[in-house]
Structure 1
Amino acid sequence: MKSNKGKGLLGLLGLLVVLGIFGFFGYDTLQKSKLVTDENGVTSQNGGIKLGLDLAGGVSITYQAKEENPSAEDMSDTQYKLQQRVQNYSSEAEVYQEGGNRINVDIPGVTDANKILEELGKPGSLQFYDENWNVVLEGTDVASAKAVIYKDQQTGNNNYEVALTFTDEGTKKFADVTAANVGKKIAIVYDNVMYSNPTVQQAITGGQASISGMTSYEEAENLASTIRIGSLSLELEELRSNVVGAKLGQEAITTSLKAGAIGFGIVCVFMIVVYLIPGLAASLALCLYVALMLILLAAFEVTLTLPGIAGIILSIGMAVDANVIIFTRIKEEIGLGKTVHSAIKTGFAKALSAIVDGNVTTLIAAAVLYWRGSGTVKGFATTLALGIVLSMFTALFVTKFTLNTLYNLGFQDQKFYGIRKEKKALNFLGKRNICFIISAVMILAGVAGMVMNKSSIGNAFNYSLDFQGGTSTSVTFNEDMSLERISSEVVPVVESITNSADTQTQKVAGTNEVIIKTRTLSVEERQALDEALVENFGVDESKITAESISGAVSAEMKRDAVMATAIATVFMLLYIWVRFKDIRFAASAVLALVHDVLVVVACYALAKWSVGSTAIACLLTIVGYSINATIVIFDRIRENIKLMGPKASTVDIVNTSITQTFTRSINTSLTTFVMVFVLFIMGVSSIREFALPLMAGIICGTYSSVCLTGAMWYVMTTKKQKKDAVEKQAKKDAEKAAKKAKKSGK
């Protein structure tokens, strides 16, 4: 006993030291992440976590097409490809069209416009030359370029190359050119500078090529980036560049941090009250989780924006969920008569499959979203993936270590852990038809809302500036306006003209200029806004300019997001199918996932919530949350099929499984909901706009997991059972008839 207490005391001291060290570095990272404004009005950070344009501002560069009247198709294509180029600086960079021939690039987390311009380069033309210096290919013939690393089998050293993939037309051109130039060089020239001059070894007909001779991955990535930017449909030139302030301002960051801290505190208190000693262990593990998350966000230079915060909230919810699954299992084992020590060991073992399957499924989604997505989708995927890995580590290792440490210290009585006795199964399946009808009504109501919106506002949804663009008004005030004053004094004046809450403002550092982005304004509304600014702030009307801007989320980016989600869904379906060895589990999970997305989309339509880039992140969060909750119930159904045996009816198995996991479903949803709810209560308007759909998604995800997934699996299973029974009976009847016919033939 004394030995165990000594071991427990040593373990507790070690845990507290680790918490202290990582807590200090986490706090230091948070302090360095704060925005600091110098005497010139330039806002910057001293390190820490890179904040996105919405939280910290950055560099805004405007390019103009050299062609006098570029086509809309060329502008759209150039905007999308430029978006791919600036991903090297930040996954949260925004690219949008201004007027008919200009493109704006907003890059978060930087303040040196000249450095970015120098690194980004003027997007000139890319050309391929033969040895007689004839242009044989253009940059537009290249579909993609990426840096690759491979190991030399002879030397064991890493080699670096740039892999090129050509368009269909470029493939044919390249095949002809290489066939005619075997043994000769083909130079790759960008903006009159030769970047590479490789020798053609043989005719290349597959539409792919590689450029070797790079000394580092960075060099290969820079060349790949140069080639990608060189394949723009239009040649651009810099028109102007500014350092701009945050869209949301310091107030949004401060209130979000306070809300996060309060929400996290409430979750810890809830865990301790409900789960006692295990809850304390989970709270300590979650504290380490938060500290590690802050440190890793900074270490991996992840750019944090509102969608990124959504990923963190989801991962915290999943971290809590893993602990709740474990503690529920421990209570059940104690209820079955096992000792506390044995219950802890068995509880972790039995919870492992549900935790791994739920987290791996969501991790698959995050990986695909990062691979296929762009912009906010990629930022969301990064923070989500990082959070999932950390949540699994803290739940399976840190919580287990802490719980065993507390047990060794003397907390060995069952009263410290709680006892969960077997409850009578509730008849969830008895209400399945009512639930199906409720879901159908909600989805159809959403469709009706879209139709009504189309007739009243011209679109199925209330699209924000991010999606449909609007008007950008540049105003030079007579004094330096702080972000707080802009938010409290200028924005209300603007909204009185636009009658819309969708207003974005940015301050140009070192000047009195403020950029105001609103929905598209008519000529009369522009004039009214000018007059209101002059009247309220004494602005010189000649220092007010306005331009039409496109949405920062281009059609291609929307397509990428939809494609990424579709591919992620397919991969999740395959994983669940393989793990559960039953396509009906996978089909039910995906149907529930689609249901949740459609219901939240219906909320967007009916409530006319603003649909922008954060809406994409909200829907992706709901996808991850929904699939994780469903996996837990399916894991219990899979287990009960074996435990309850072939004599148990499918109805009893499903009802028992949902009943056993019901408390877990409610508690996990409650803790995640609290995190978002506090954010909604304390946050600024843009934060509330972001938190509200998340809360709807959490409620919907809980409802579908409890009321729909098991019911859908049951319906599919019983249909197959009936079909098998009919086929079996038909086979018996056929055999009987054959025997009768054979007998009568004799």
Structure 2
Amino acid sequence: MRRLKKGQGIAWLVAFVVILGLLGYYAALVLTGTINKTDDSLKLGLDLDGGVSITYEAVGDTPTDEQMEDTILKLQQRIENDLGEESSTTEANVYRVGDKRITVEIPGVSDANALLEELGTPGTLYFITQYDIEGNPNYTINGYDADGNIDGTLNYDIDTLIDNGSVIATGTNVTSAQAATQTNQTTNATEYVVQLRFDDEGTTAFSAATTAASLTGDSIAIYYDGKFVSVPTVKNAISDGNCIIEGMDSYEQAQKLASYIRIGGLDIELTELESQVVGAQLGSDALRTSLIAAGVGLVIVMLFLIAMYLAPGVVASLALALYTAMLIGILKAFDITLTLPGIAGMILSIGMAVDANVICFARIREEIKNGRPVISAIETGFSKALSAILDGNITTLIAAAVLGILGSGTVKGFAITLALGVVLSMFTALVITRILMNSFYALGIRSPKAYGKAKEPTKFDFVGKKAIFITISVAIIAAGFVTMGVFKAKDGAGLNYSLEFLGGTSTTVDFNETYTLEQLDSIVVPDIASTLDISEGSIQTTTVDGSNQAIFKTRTLTLDERTALNEMLESKYSVAEDSITSQSIGSTISGEMRSQSTIAVIVAVLCMLVYIWFRFKDIRFASSAIIALIHDVLIVLSLYAFARISVGSAFIACMLTVIGYSVNDTIVVFDRIRENHKAIRTETVENLKELANSSLAQTLSRSISTSITTAIMVLMLLILGVSSIREFALPLLAGVIAGTYSSIFIATQLWYIFRVSGKKSN
């Protein structure tokens, strides 16, 4: 970047302040609206807004694409009918998962259990004659309502109409229903129609009914799911089973009617695989505490940066404020659904956003130490930091991409916010921070003291002590596997698999007072066992520190059992209905989540291996980095075993985040080794050892600073977050520590071992 004059520096700063003010104001409106649930709110997932999520699977053979699309439409229509007035303020999301599954997500509903009972019930479509055999009208049509739907009344119940022969056919008699166009023979205008074909039974019945109706100009109504969808007048007798419904205003209207007719004849049987009911109060608490954690962590990180890096620290803090406002603005602008793991990804990305700035600042200090003028040190520092920033962040983006492709709904939210954070962090560090640094210099902040000077690198034999460091890691990992073996023999499972892996039902209850674990087991558990007619020993109970919440894990409960449990808790313990959260997951999901976790990790590792190999042109760099990140994964896995942390859907996000973070840290060190290696004329064992030690020493302060800022953000989640976030934050914090340890004491040492293999000392 060209050196700025004073006037240019002032202009850039004024522009920055204006942009930051506008974006900050907008971000504040969005956050306030999100907390107060106004129109300015971010789009919230179920875990933050409360509501219901359910995944169905088609029983039997794999349905056709058309059958799946029709089923999705059927569920959407049933949701609109069942929500009533709530449908105008609730955004239901119905989407296909794989070949046979459909997931329904409905945030913000008031009676989630009742809605669960209605969803998936096949609607039946009926073809009803205008008059019964005695000449009485079967239905009355008043016209159309404000939304353009047919306003009509069925004069008798369906069973009566079936018994007296007024129902001439049902949706199951329709073999095909397609929207089409035809040309009017008189006017040559294009008309939109629906083409129907009946089976043999429907053809016979329709022939008789249309023959009679055509003589009097009567209609045959199409009635689906409690309402009229079409009431066409019969013009001619239809004897061949092929029928055309005319009078559509558009092709889209014809498509909609054709879908209704196909829906009424669906023979797909849906079975519930997974369902989750989230109390709105718990979701609100999760959102509030997570935002508080983000705010507190952000302030602490800014203070740390200013204390550590002086003027550059002020610049980084300003850039970080802009980064945060931009991230919130993008989430709102693109209507990205924010989930609890998504908040975790956003908070983590704030901590990691500092990394790019720290790499630049460390380089600038080194250049000042080497005698360069400040302005030259700024330009050279940013230039030398570029490769490490790009390589490190791209590996994290690879992890985020794997999460987005292979992860579930909530994990996808985490991946999106993490990826957005990585991209924005590179932009703010390489563009915004650089502009601000040059602007500060143009305004007269030119003393080297304001920017700091790198200290002499630590004289420590990192490579010489490699046996000690590797032994420590091996001991921790071995202890983790031993622990898993002990629990495997004792409980049948080495890890504390959650419901996503084992299947069952978990009910989280926010009581009006705090119960100890002993009180829950002696007072509440017997009532639960009696209500559900299960043994007390089959109920697993845990408490949530710092709150009145308790979690009860049982076998998979039916909807009636869940309703009965809620009613018992409400009547006997005065628990508010919206503070009860239940989650039920079937065993089919369990097996898939295990394979999903394994595939996600393998794919991420292979992609990173290829990328690092390509960038560093040396398989030894790539293999060392991959072994180091496997080390980090195993360390975190050991923590899951030691602390019996629940292994659930967040486990995937946690592990892949650890992988991305670990490689990011290691690449910065490897980038310095690659740079310093150019000065080596003869590659001896002694020279390689000195190269590794000096490169580690030169990047040590950066590694520690980045780890501290990231750890601060995660620690705030651990301290202030709700239970589900804490279970995510604790292993993530361990991953940050393990990643820092491996980048300093494991990865480079492995590279050295591979590099000197076969070489002799002088």
Q: Which residue of structure 1 lines up, in the alignment, with residue 750 of structure 2?
A: 712
Partner of 1:607: 643
**Partner Cα distance (1:233, 1:502) in 2:** 45
Please tell me whether the aligned partners of residues 504 and 557 of structure 2 are also in contact (alpha carbons under 8 angstroms): no
Query: Counterparts of 1:637 and 1:708 in 2: how far apart (Å)?
Result: 14
Note the alpha carbon deviations across 1:297-330, whole angstroms, 9 max, x for none: 1222222223222322332232111111000000
Name the aligned partner's letter for residue 252 of structure 1.
Answer: A
Contact 1:54 1:247 (8 Å CA) reproduced = no
Q: Which has the larger radius of gyration?
A: 2
**Mapped partners of 1:589, 1:501: distance in 2:** 39
**Structure 1 position 690, deviation (Å):** 2.2
Q: Is the 8 A contact 1:313 1:675 kept in 2?
A: yes
Q: 1:663 and 2:701 equivalent? A: yes
Counterpart in the other structure of 1:477? none
Q: Is the 8 A contact 1:466 1:553 kept in 2?
A: yes
Q: Which amino acid letter does the alignment assign opposite residue 651 of structure 1?
A: K
- Structure 1 pair 48/649, CA: closer, same or farther in 2 (3 Å)? same
Match of 1:17 in 2: 18
**Cα distance in 2 for residues equivalent to 1:241 and 1:596:** 33
Matches of 2:478 and 2:625 in 1, distance apart? 21
Q: Quote the offset at 1:531 in angstroms.
A: 12
Whole-angstrom distance in 2 between the partners of 1:462 and 1:689: 12
Distance 1:582 1:92, change over 3 A: farther
TM-score by length of 1: 0.68
Deviation at 1:538, TM superposition (A): 7.4
Q: CA-to-partner distance for each residue in 1:182-219, whole Å, 9 max, x for gaps?
A: xxxxxxxxx99xxxxxxxxxxxxxxxxxxxxxxxxx99
Within-5 A mapping of 1:406-425: 406-423=440-457, 425=459
Q: What is aligned with 2:433? A: 399
Q: What amino acid sits opposite 1:365 in the alignment?
A: A
5 Å matches for 1:87-486? Answer: 107=105, 109=107, 111=109, 235-236=269-270, 245-246=279-280, 248-423=282-457, 425-471=459-505
Q: Which moved more, 1:245-254 or 1:297-306?
A: 245-254
Cα distance in 2 for partners of 1:303, 1:664 equals 34
Measured against aligned partners, the alpha-carbon deviations of 1:163-193 in whole angstroms (never above 9, x if no partner) come to xxxxxxxxxxxxxxxxxxxxxxxxxxxx99x
Separation in 1, partners of 2:272, 2:739: 47
Give the aligned partner of residue 598 of structure 1: 634
Q: What is the one-letter code of the residue matched to 1:580?
A: F
Rate the CA distance shift 1:585–1:31 in 2: closer, same or farther, 3 A: same
In structure 1, the residue matched to 2:31 is 30
Q: Number of aligned residue pairs: give it.
A: 585
Of residues 658, 663, 678, the one that matches 1:627 is 663
Task: Say which of 23, 33, 51 aligns to 2:44.
Answer: 51
| Contact 1:93/1:108 (<8 A) preserved | no
CA contact (8 A) 2:542 2:550 kept: no
SS in 2 for 1:393: helix
CA gap of 1:60–1:708, structure 2 versus 1, over 3 A, is: closer
Q: 1:699 aligns with which of 737, 745, 755?
A: 737
Question: What per-residue deviation string (whole Å, max 9, x for no partner) do you get for residues 274-304 of structure 1?
Answer: 1000011000000001001111112222222
Residue 180 of structure 1: aligned partner = none
Cα offset, 1:377, TM superposition: 3.1
* Conserved? CA contact 1:113–1:243, under 8 Å: no
Q: Structure 1 residues 645 and 610, CA, compared in 2 at 3 Å: closer, same or farther? A: same
Deviations 1:407-459 (A, max 9, x none): 11110000100011443542101111111111111111111111111123321
Structure 1 residues 233 and 612, CA gap change in structure 2 (3 angstroms): farther
The question of whether the paired residues in 2 share the 8 Å contact of 1:374 and 1:557 is answered with no
Alpha-carbon distance in structure 1 between the residues aligned to 2:110 and 2:271? 19
| Structure-2 change in CA distance of 1:467 and 1:348 (3 Å) | same
How many Å separate the matches in 2 of 1:245 and 1:299? 27
Provide closer, same or farther for how the CA distance between residues 639 and 47 of structure 1 changes in structure 2, counting only shifts above 3 A. Answer: same
CA distance in 2, matches of 1:15, 1:53: 36
249 and 643 in structure 1: CA distance in 2 versus 1, 3 angstrom threshold: same
Q: Which residue of 2 aligns with 1:165?
A: none
Instruction: Classify 1:552/1:55 alpha carbon distance in 2 versus 1 (closer, same or farther; 3 Å).
Output: farther
Name the CA distance, whole Å, in 2 between partners of 1:307 and 1:534: 30
Return the alpha-carbon distance in structure 2 between the equivalents of residues 279 and 547 of structure 1. 45
Residues of 2 paired with 1:86 and 1:355: CA distance?
A: 47
Code of the residue aligned with 1:107 in structure 2: it is E
Residue 695 of structure 2 is aligned to residue 650 of structure 1: no
Q: Which residue of 2 aligns with 1:501?
A: 542
- Correspondence list, 1:582-597, <5 A: 582-597=618-633
Separation in structure 2 between the aligned mates of residue 32 and residue 538 of structure 1, nearest angstrom: 30
Q: Secondary structure at the match of 1:304?
A: coil
- Distance, in Å, in 2 between the alignment partners of 1:63 and 1:491 is 35
Q: Does 1:566 align with 2:602?
A: yes
- Which letter maps to 2:462? F
Cα 1:460/1:437, change in 2 over 3 Å: same
CA shift, 1:64, in A, is 9.8
**In 1, Cα distance between equivalents of 2:356 and 2:572:** 55
Question: Does the aligned pair in 1 maintain the 2:541–2:552 contact within 8 Å?
Answer: no
Q: Distance in 1 between matches of 2:518 and 2:338?
A: 28
Deviations 1:376-409 (A, max 9, x none): 3322221111111101000100110111111111
Give percent identity, aligned residues only: 49
Structure 2 unmatched ranges of 5 or more: 77-90, 125-172, 177-223, 226-251, 526-538
Question: In the aligned structure 2, how far is the partner of 1:27 from the partner of 1:551?
Answer: 43
Match of 1:578 in 2: 614
2:387 counterpart SS class: helix
Other structure's SS at 2:41 match: coil
1:4 corresponds in structure 2 to: 5
What SS class does the counterpart of residue 614 from structure 1 fall into? helix
SS in 2 for 1:445: helix
Distance 1:48 1:10, change over 3 A: same
SS of alignment partner, residue 643 of structure 1: coil
CA distance in 1, matches of 2:722, 2:121: 38
Distance in 2, matches of 1:573 and 1:646, equals 28
- C-alpha distance after superposition, 1:678-727 (max 9, x if no partner): 222222333322221111111111101100000000111111546xx9xx
1:633-683 deviation line (CA, Å, top 9, x unaligned) = 000000010134436710000000011001111110011111111222222
User: Could you tell me how far 1:535 is from its partner in structure 2?
Assistant: 8.6
In structure 1, C-alpha distance between the alignment counterparts of 2:654 and 2:96, rounded to whole Å: 19
Structure 1 residue 56: Cα displacement: 1.3
